[in-house]
Amino acid sequence: MLRKPAWAAFVIGLLMTSGCRFADPESTTTWLFDPATPIAEEVRQNFWYTASLIAPFLILAEALLLYAIFRFRNRAGRKPAAFHENVKLEVFWTLVPAITLVMIAVPSFRLVHKITHVPADTELEVQVFGHQFFWRYEYPEYGITLSDEPLVLPANKKVALTFSSVDVIHSWWVPAFGFKQDANPGRVATRWVQVKPGYYKGQCAELCGALHGVMWIEVVALPEEAFREWVRARKRGEAPSIEELRAMLSGPQVAKQED
């Protein structure tokens, strides 16, 4: 009776979150359901690990609350208890959460190190610049510039991404990659990705002005051959559309027909 709204909301929420995953293949892919990078995989694991460690506390606390509410009603003839301290109990409920938090912290800090340390063997560098209100990508190796276009990455390769901004602070966020990074003007931050082949959506995550809400990000991670074909096409001055890019995901044949 008491927590009906809670359960209803929870169940509806679960149904809807699962619903919008399966109903619409075009949904934003997330680190929790479809991690696309090694980092995102580990973030997902770390999320569930954290959840499993704190769930007992959540369930216990809410259950004790509910139990107390039903068990200790003011009924005729009941006398309230008089205890108001218990040192052993208080030490216990201080120490147990502390130990749990250490268990959460250790793997978390390892993962933080992994997110922030770019491996030495990255094969490509892409510079990401935030603009009001679009993203610009520079490939110094190829001399390619993408302005307000989807980012194209070689799939399964370690790529270093450097983030900066030309005006205000933006934040580059593709949920499936398991991290976001602020693009600060006057600063450069480096992160890395190793993306499974596919098409990913994201958007700016730091309020950057009027059109912050529509500062979209699209990423296509192409298999090796297709990626090379795309680089050649860009150098020829072509700019494949997002539909063409997504067609290339299944192989480079689209581009080859023109030869």
Partner 1 sequence: MAQYIEQPLTLYSRWPKPLAVLVDWLTTTDHKKIGIMYLLYSLLMAIVGGAMAGMIRSQLAVPDNTLLRPELYNEILTLHGTIMIFFVAMPALAGFGNYLVPILIGARDMAFPRLNAFSFWLLVPSGLLMLASLFVEGGAAAAGWTSYTPLASKQYMATPGVDMWIFSLHLAGLSSILGAVNFIVTTLNMRAPGMRLMEMPLFVWAWFVTATLILVAIPVLSGALTMLLTDRLLGTNFFKISEGGDPLLWQHLFWFFGHPEVYIVILPSFGIISHVLAAFAHKRIFGYPGMVIAIAAIGIVGYLVWAHHMFTTGLSTLSLILFSAFSMVIAIPTGVKVWSWLATIWGGTIRFTTPMKFALGFIALFILGGMGGIFLANAAVDFSLHDTYFVVGHFHYVFAGGTVVALLAATYFWFPKMTGRFLSEKLGTWVFWLFFSGVLLSFLVMHFLGILGMPRRVYTYRPEFTSLNQLVTAGYVLQLLAGLLLLFDIFRTLLKPKQDLPPDPWGINEVQKTLDWATSSPPPPYNFERTPTPDQWRYEPKEQAA
* Residue numbers 183-202 binding partner 1 by CB under 8 A: 184-187, 189, 201-202
Does position 43 bind partner 1 by CB under 8 A?
yes
- Reading the block at residue 208, the tokens are 């950057």
# of chain residues touching partner 1 (CB under 8 A):
97
**Interaction mask 67-96, partner 1, x per CB under 8 A:** -xx--xxxx--xxxxxxxxx--xx--xx--
**Which residue, 83 or 237, has its beta carbon nearer to partner 1?**
83
Q: Please give the Cα distance from 242 to 148 (Å, whole number).
A: 12
Angle CA(40)–CA(223)–CA(22) in degrees, nearest 5? 50
- Strands of 89-237, DSSP E: 124-131, 134-139, 144-147, 151-154, 159-165, 170-174, 179-183, 189-193, 198-203, 216-222
Q: Which of residues 7-36 bind partner 1 (CB under 8 A)?
A: 9-10, 12-13, 16-17, 19-20, 24, 26-32
Cα-Cα end-to-end distance for the chain: 70
Smallest separation, CB 135 to partner 1 (Å) = 14
Report the site for partner 1 in 98-117 (rule: CB under 8 A).
Answer: 98, 101, 104-105, 108-109, 111-113, 115-117
* Dist CA 7 CA 15 (whole Å): 12
218 binds partner 1 (CB under 8 A): no
3-state secondary structure of 154: strand
Nearer to partner 1, 46 or 122 (CB): 46
Smallest gap, in angstroms, from Cβ of residue 241 to partner 1?
20
- DSSP letter for each residue of 223-239: -HHHHHHHHHHHHTT--
Site track 150-169 with partner 1 (rule: CB under 8 A), x = hit: -------------x---xxx
